[in-house]
Amino acid sequence: MTLDREFFGRDRILADLSRRLDAVSRRGRGQILAVRGRRQVGKSTLLEHFVQSADVPYVFTTGRYGAAIRQQIDGADRALSESRRPLPDLDLIASSSARSWEDWLTRLAVSARSGPVVVVLDEFPWQTAADPSLEGVLQVVWDRVLEKLPVLLVLVGSDVAMMSRLTEHDRPLFGRVRPLVVPALNLAEAAQALPGWEPTGVIDAALVTGGYPRLLADLADSGRATVQHYVHDGLRDPYSPLVTTARLTLDAEFPSPQDATRVLAAIGADETANPGFNDILGTITNEGEGQSARTATTRALKILTEIKGLIEREQPALAKPSSKLRRYRITDPYLRFWYRYVESSLDQIERGRADLAVARFDRDWSSWRGRSVEPLVRDSLVRLAATDERLAGIQRFSPWWRRARKGEPDVEVDVVGTDRSTPLLVGSIKWRPGGRIAPQEVAELRAHRALIPGADNAMLAAITPEGLQPEGVDIALGSQDLVEAWSPDVDGSTPMGR
């Protein structure tokens, strides 16, 4: 299904939207959807595709950043006449300018009496920023008129935190809104965007583009045979999508610099890709800041994990929530890549020394790739467990590690699969050319299994690009398995990179 060069996949979400529209048409009663997702993940393109392919009248209006109330309403008025499938009784409802949002929304009822209509308010957070009363106005008009008519009202926003709050109990639309999350494209959709690519190359593309449709389309159009060559080209152009897309995303989340952006940069630039609290603190703390820096960092991590959802807090498999063993990583693969290779090199790229950024990428791409693929592998295994009998009973896949003890080194295991309380699988991820796990690495994995409480009988797994099974390992999985785990006929709903 292709609307334009940046539209791939989305079958599951389109089917969900169609079911909701069918319910609205069948019952004659309205529904409100709150659609959220990071900027550049393709929300607007998805909704545009939906309204154009659905055989019902629609209006699609987009809020303008920083515009006043009058400008926002005027834009909504223009959208009525610009629709390719205009609302019924358009001459009547658009005969004069709407005086307010209440006036504009109430006019929709005239059209909806003739049959189902779809109304999309894109960039809804920008519209409410201009008029903080809009949520309350919408609630009143909805309860009084629109809910009783076949209206599918879709509120769309890139401010993930704000859109999430629409469903909270102290907000005007509580109990009326149904959330819908648009994630980045998953591995199967990335493969659709890159026809002819081998599964390992598709996974490399996911690590660099994060599944952002614009970046995948740019990669496909580049004609480059490998991700490495695409990155070389992108780093040499300060205006390439690879360089600029992250800034659009971050500007939407953080209109002004704050402690959270410093913490985000510290996590993204870290060589391990999974720093602990003290590692982050040491990176951003200036001499003499002391306790104030710890407090600011703690507050920033709370914002990034619980409110913004940009950072994920990792704990070892089976660890108690109160455990102090924790580390942090950026959830979005593209942002992880951008902070590691672009953000720290922006000055060099802009002054014509992109060769330094390219050299840095070439120097540690292999090791960074090996670390950054791990969360994507674990997310894929969650989906694969729904259909692969070898993984039956496993509910979670997590890393496991312990701190160094006296006379003993740090120990880390890439993936431990558990049911509610028992380790059922202990696995090693070796993402390198050739992909083989050597006999001594199998022996090391077996020794590490003995250190994990309750894991004595757990299966041993090897996850490599080629999926080769070394002697002494119970399960081997490769790139093909991981990509196919995201096929539409496989159950599961975990978004890529989360």
Own/partner long-range contacts of 18-21 (Cβ < 8 Å, ≥24 apart): 18/50, 18/54, 20/152, 20/178, 21/54, 21/56, 21/116, 21/118, 21/152
In the prediction, which pLDDT does 292 show?
77
Which pLDDT tens digit goes with each residue over 362-410?
999 999 999 999 999 999 999 999 999 999 999 999 999 988 777 677 8
> Longest C-alpha distance within the chain, in Å?
82
Per-domain residue ranges of the chain? 11-181, 188-371, 374-484
In the prediction, which pLDDT does 7 show?
65
Which pLDDT tens digit goes with each residue over 338-352?
999 999 899 999 999
* Coil vs helix vs strand at 230: helix
> What element of type H or E holds 416?
strand 411-418
In the prediction, which pLDDT does 200 show?
96
Architecture per CATH, domain 374-484, reads as: 3-Layer(aba) Sandwich (3.40)
Q: Quick one: 233 exposed, middle or buried, by C-beta within 10 A (0-12, 13-18, 19+)?
A: middle
In the prediction, which pLDDT does 2 show?
35
Closest CA to 480 of 225, 200, 207: 200
- Give the DSSP letter of residue 27: H
Query: Domain 11-181 is in which class?
Result: alpha beta
pTM of the entire predicted model: 0.87
Count other Cβ atoms within 10 Å, centred on residue 450. 9
In the prediction, which pLDDT does 257 show?
60
In the prediction, which pLDDT does 286 show?
63
Query: Do the domains at 11-181 and 374-484 have one common CATH topology?
Result: no
Give every residue of the chain whose pLDDT is below 50, as ranges: 1-5, 492-498
In the prediction, which pLDDT does 255 show?
66
